Chains A and B, each alone.
Chain A
């Protein structure tokens, strides 16, 4: 008759040791913290560039160009300016923040996350009202022909392009109730998508989005269905180099190269105007 005692498996023994010692608490919390800290080591990018949604494709093109001519590596994170800045305020690890306005970079400086002299205007964006199928000339006031649910803009609370569009709408004489029904999306890139996909009849887009779509061949554009609004709404786009990146060579280099000829040409081809040689404030 065999009396083999059941072997206590190795795993069970390990689990037992982990628990049996120090009354469930000490070793466990050590492991917990250790695991957390280890996860922290997963960080890999050299420089993290947060860019406003409208600048996304341009930034990716710049990154590609710069990575091919240097050892630096860049991670591009895009979103509406407001969202990115909010994340930065809560600790997001951005090295450079490229906004679509001036106010938000100033806020970062106010909160002490960037130095005063680290702000520069890098591009001038352009807002347009895209209304496919509408014969020109038309003005913003003509939008009343459509139901507000088929008009789209970026959320003014988060996106400078959206804020500019909204102030134009408010000044246009359209009635307040109508305005309340207009569709707001998270960022200005989405507006072009909505209109292109016919989910909206008209939308306030960034020139960069349109240029991008034309470049991809998604759009055979007849210019006439877009009303460019640069005279009424100039979008001055500023960037800041964050304090945390002051010793980051990759981040520094990014900002420098942005104002050199090759990248400046790239910006122009993507639909941006270049800032006149502006003094950094």
Chain B
């Protein structure tokens, strides 16, 4: 089934004002009506937690209320509807198919709203390779934009990772890599991105969203956007660094949305010839390297006085 990836994540929040400012400062565009968009139109949507139009909550601290998947065409919607109707309640209205997965996460499927992007990725010059930036083209400048481009993936805490994975396999998601006893990285058929969904096995009272992230234009944009976010007073949680599975650069922040919010870039692409790896979860398996923000500093000051005469 030609599912491309998440089009939107819908949250029912405690503090709309705080969440709105957070998402704008993170770099999303306020498109109105609680919708905050990346450059390609993928989005985070925020509503007051008690909004009756929202699907029910998960009964935990998680504020995620719906994951909206973008699919290629109406044939795919038909196929998803037919498959899911075999064993659960499914609705279809105004072009949106809705149901809940086997863990109780509310899902929606629609023909994707993603707008095609035509933007260069980060361009790098290296000895031995053709220059990627022409002469006099700068790699970095003070007000260089660093805007989230596209909603990349969401990570769930789930009480039964094997059962949860089996549900998504019915929709054509394949495992690209796995943390043993923890959960799978899943890639739907409509993208080559290493994962659009990762699941972590936890006790039932933790069920919910661990984090979500938008793809940036490259590692420099991750570092630049993250630095600007810290300088506005936001709280770094983990990073910057580079993950092992997926090779994506990362930087995670705390948020008022009840989950971490990440900047990521340069994820591996895979096709059906890829054989998934399996590794125990741990610091070495999670990242190749990890750094931490520090205030800007430069070796400077007056020259040493020298020996006294």
The answer to whether A and B belong to the same complex is no
